[in-house]
Amino acid sequence: MKSCFIFAILAFFPFVCLVTYKNYTSGGLFEILLKQLQSNDCQDLYAEGLSFKNQYSDFNDEYKTELKERVRSIFLSSLYNYYEYAFPKDELNPIDCKGRGPDYGNPSNININDVLGNYSLTLIDSLDSIAVMGTKEQFHQAVQDVIRVVDFDQDSIVQVFESNIRILGSLLSAHLLLTVETGLGNLTLNGYESELLSMAQDLGTRLLQAFDVSPLGLPHPRVNLRDGVPTNWSAENCLAGAGSFLLEFGLLSRLTGDPVYEWKARRATKALWNMRSNGTGLLGNTFDVETGIWNSKLSGLGAGMDSYYEYLLKSFILFGEQGDLDMFEEAYTTIKKYMRRGRTSCLDGIGDHPLYVNVNMDTGTTHSAWIDALQASFPGVQVLYGDVDEAICQHAVYHAIWRKYGLMPERYNWQLKTPEILFYPLRPEFVESTYLLYQATKHPYYLHVGKEILWSLEQYAKCNCGYCTVHNIIDRTLEDRMESFFLSETCKYLYLLFDENHALNHNAEKFIFTTEGHVIPVMDLPPVVPLPQILAMLPLDSNDTKTPTQVIILK
């Protein structure tokens, strides 16, 4: 029987078995990882001739505690400097030690304006990280600061996807940590009256405007938080950008009693699902939300596509909706059929090391010879699904890249064996997969990977008052930006990797992480309107304009 592991919802998968340490200490794992790390341009990494098993011996408790505390120090010092130099602005510039907000003078500067909305982004995105790595008092202070300062009535044009995963998801996570018994200790805040939930609903309602323009129910990529969908802006969205709302919008509906958020999210998810290629069943990358016509037929697992598949699986884990799992399983089968290259068996056999490549959605032929840093999260999805062997092999690819450069390039050409895009904005995806694979296997190899990541952050990214984007991984030049996901995800996953006794690790079946790393307790939250009725409303054609309140009448 194939070994498998479900990290977040064992109860929903009675047919799987937990991976134990002994499953992955035999020759298979060591052989494949050693071959991967010694192959091609990575041969010099192990020239010292140390045995693989001895090189990756376990850490004692004292050393794991030291590593954990180093991560905590990175997080808390960065948060302190944000408070000192930037709050209530969205981000801290870690080189000049100043705050950064939207670029109102240049609305087309979407690199900044898609994310920064004048809503204290870094603090909100860090709330549950403070609960994980800080003290109860620090968490409560941050919650009170958010309630006191943040107002979403802003003349800011923001990306709907980013506002959803970074802001809405964090508000819901923090609200649940304050009000639900989670095993993380008593985080109850005296006088708290669900203000974070009210703020989440306010933001969610503003984001809903993006879903109201397309006849297909596909969200526009951006909204003005005050005025709705801006005129004369691009209607091009991407698969992940339009299809990663099931968790946050589903939770918002179930916590507020208003079904419209979950209905809009499921309608968009289903509309995208219906846009699969007739020939292959694959989905593309970018499309026009008004017509549903694909602009980019690149099909892959990286930027613009990744979290659509992630949320199909995680929505099943959180809500138990069988249809979400059915879609994920069909998508995963199609992905393995058309995107996977290399030998059939991941851990043994002859042929090239397995790799998932970008393909044309209509033909399944190779589209391009690069993989990107966001695709490094997919081994974590494979762990959640129980395909641990595949996850081990794909993670090894990214570890080989990290070992070669000491950091992860944004894009790497696997054919030419060279990076194509050289910056590293402190992304969490490789750290996330490392953490989940350690939880699945308990193999010390992943602790060593985490140690390497921590060393690189301290060595290459530390700057005046925080941690910087590495502008060029070759010459190590820095950029004056610290994205909020560094505190929300990168530090959190790295900390939890070393803190084996943390409640999140001891009660893994009771939690799920959103795509932004926000902690959500898995609990019984029935839909406001029964899911069969919501699903019956999902569009069959572009003329379907029924609303959730009509569901009950129709049924």
pTM above 0.75, yes or no: yes
Q: What is the pLDDT of residues 405-433, one digit of tens each?
A: 999 999 999 999 999 999 999 999 999 99
pLDDT tens digits along 6-26:
333 222 222 222 233 334 433
**Predicted confidence (pLDDT) at residue 52 exceeds the cutoff of 50:** no
Which domain CATH number covers 182? 1.50.10.10
441 is in an annotated binding site: no
Residue 292 domain-assigned (yes or no): yes
The predicted model gives 484-492 an average pLDDT of 99
Q: Using one digit for the tens of pLDDT, what is the confidence trace for 328-354?
A: 999 999 999 999 999 988 877 788 889
Q: What is the Cα–Cα distance from 123 to 174, expressed in whole angstroms?
A: 12
- Residue spans of alpha helices (H) in 279-428: 306-319, 322-338, 378-385, 388-405
- Residue 485 falls inside a structural domain: yes
Q: Closest Cα to residue 308, out of 261, 358, 271, 363? A: 271
The pLDDT value recorded for residue 411 is 98
Confidence (pLDDT) at 538: 60
For the packed helices 169-179 and 195-208, what is the interaxial angle rounded to 10 degrees?
A: 160
CA distance 206 to 226: 7
In a domain, 181, yes or no: yes
Selection from 544, 518, 418, 466 nearest residue 196 by Cα: 518
The first and second tokens of residue 333, run together, are 């089968």
Domain total for the chain? 1
Domain membership of residue 4 (yes or no) is no
The answer to whether residue 27 is domain-embedded is yes
Catalytic residues: 162, 306, 410, 429
From 52-56, 210-214, 409-413, 445-449, the region with the lowest mean pLDDT: 52-56
Question: Is 80 exceeded by the pLDDT of residue 42?
Answer: no
Let me know if residue 281 belongs to a domain.
yes
Query: Per-residue pLDDT for 529 more than 90?
Result: no
Q: Rounded mean pLDDT of 543-550?
A: 41
Range of the domain at 179: 10-554
2 lies in a domain?
no
Chain-centre distance of CA 254, in angstroms?
Answer: 22
Query: Could you tell me the CA-to-CA distances from 188 to 172, 191, 522 in Å, in that order?
Result: 15, 9, 19
Does residue 3 lie in a domain region? no
